[in-house]
Amino acid sequence: MLRSTLTMKKRVLLAVLGATPIVLMGYSTGPPPKRTGAAVDGGVNCTLCHRTYAPANSDPIGSVRIDASNYVPGVKQTIHVTVSHPQAQRWGFQLSARLAGDDSKIAGNFAPNDVARVICDDGSARGSLAPCPAGQPEFAEHFDAPRTDVGAGFTFSVDWTPPPTNVGDVIFYAAGNAANGDGTFNGDRIYTTVRRISPPCGLTQKPAITGALNGASFQGPWSSGSLMSVFGSNFGTTGSNRVISAGDVVADKFPQSLACIAVTINGQNAPITYVQQNQINLQAPALAGVGAASIVVIANPGAPNELRSDPFTVTTQQALAPAIFTFNGNSIAATSADGSKIIANASVVPGGVPARPGDIIVFYATGMGTTNPGFTPGDIPLAAAQVSSPVAITVGGVSVPPADILYAGVSPQSICGLYQVNFKLPASLPDGDAAIVLNVGGTAAAGRTTVPIKN
């Protein structure tokens, strides 16, 4: 794995599509149970029937979104599921709430209303109406698919009562149907999403910061928008750690608080990707100038029991601070061009293989500056965007021709502070660990990094 766990690719679980059922009309009164796309329920979603635009989420101009707040045990709140598409006029949904620690178990209960019903997964094909027996999975879904003007979208509202005690984080899984309204399974777009919420924050110790470094090199230089690691204590309970999940991402943006922790740099909130008791991984916000910056870690942010660290000043902010991610502090985190092979010595990464001269490889970096188009820290780019500054690479002392630097820019589907570089290795490299030097806009990447070569 990467030397610091900083980012994750936004994953979409694709349904396993079966044979089309012999049915003439769509489910205007709601689908069968287990159609949210949750892996624990078999990963099935409504494209099992509505197959025209399968798999789910394949038409990017529509969406389904879950709006839910962090919960107070036993206190009812209203969950909103919004389905949208500019060409649809009839709408459907299905929603399930599960324990993050064991998503085979339900979390709380939904209440039916005039647009939504609640069905139980009783083992039958269509399920049964709630109330459900204790522990039986339940699903809120549309009762009679509402029709609107074309493109208006629709928000379903469902009351949800969480468990009476603190059960840890809860994950909502939802599928949305943006239908064309012809009453059949044809021409409808299906979307899936997840949303993760937490119980009240109860950290009791004041955070303390001891250091802040570039998240790839673990050295000093960092820049606006680069990935960073903050070190210290009391960032969480001993032994706990929290890696960001798809359910934490809302509107294609990373959260500004995670595991009851937030961070500000010069008063601006930083998107967070990972938290453990003594380390926080984040993306620096957009900052003006260079030089000194003040970092504050906030426990229980926004709550009456909020605790703030003393400000910690770092003096190594630069306009550009390129750094390459590594597997062990030295060997670059790289793959083959198609992603099928990890480029590393097997002693560093089991299953890793050396690259051959002339191969195209991909490595990952941070601190490479602005891109075209640009992004706001925390954004998840959905497509490629080249860095604005000139990029140069040498491998084993051999300069890579500009034509062989095939791409240097954001890594699509990742946080925008993560960059990837695709390039062709020089053909004349000898066997061994060849030093790689990345230079962006005249600034060389910090640290010594190498790539294993085998002819």
In the structure encoding, which two tokens stand for residue 196, read together? 């993760």
pLDDT at residue 95, as a whole number: 98
What backbone torsions phi and psi does residue 47 show, to the nearest 5 degrees? -70, -10
What is the total residue count of the chain? 455
Q: How far is CA 281 from each of CA 190, 356, 415, rounded to the nearest angstrom? A: 34, 33, 12
Peptide bond before 112: cis, by omega within 30 degrees of 0?
A: no
Say whether 208-318 and 39-197 share the same fold.
yes
pLDDT in tens, 9-25: 332 222 222 233 333 33
Give domain limits for the chain. Answer: 39-197, 208-318, 323-453
Tens-place pLDDT, residues 323-365: 999 999 999 999 999 999 999 999 999 999 999 999 999 999 9
89-143 pLDDT per residue, tens: 999 999 999 999 899 999 999 999 999 999 999 999 999 999 999 989 999 999 9
Q: pLDDT tens, 197-208?
A: 999 999 999 999
Task: Quick: pLDDT tens for 39-76.
Answer: 999 999 999 999 999 999 999 999 999 999 999 999 99
| Residue 7 pLDDT grade (very low, low, confident, very high; cuts 50, 70, 90) | very low
212-236 average pLDDT score: 96
Domain at 39-197, CATH class: mainly beta
Q: Tell me the C-alpha to C-alpha distance, in Å, between residue 432 and each of 348, 425, 435.
A: 14, 14, 10
Percentage of the chain beyond pLDDT 90 is 87
Pairing of strands 268-269, 227-233: unpaired
Neighbours of 149 (CB within 10 A): 7
- What pLDDT shows up at residue 240? 84
**Domain at 208-318, CATH from 3.30.70.20, 3.40.718.10, 2.60.40.10, 2.160.10.10:** 2.60.40.10
In this structure, what is the dihedral angle of CA atoms 323, 329, 332, 335, given to the nearest 10 degrees?
-120
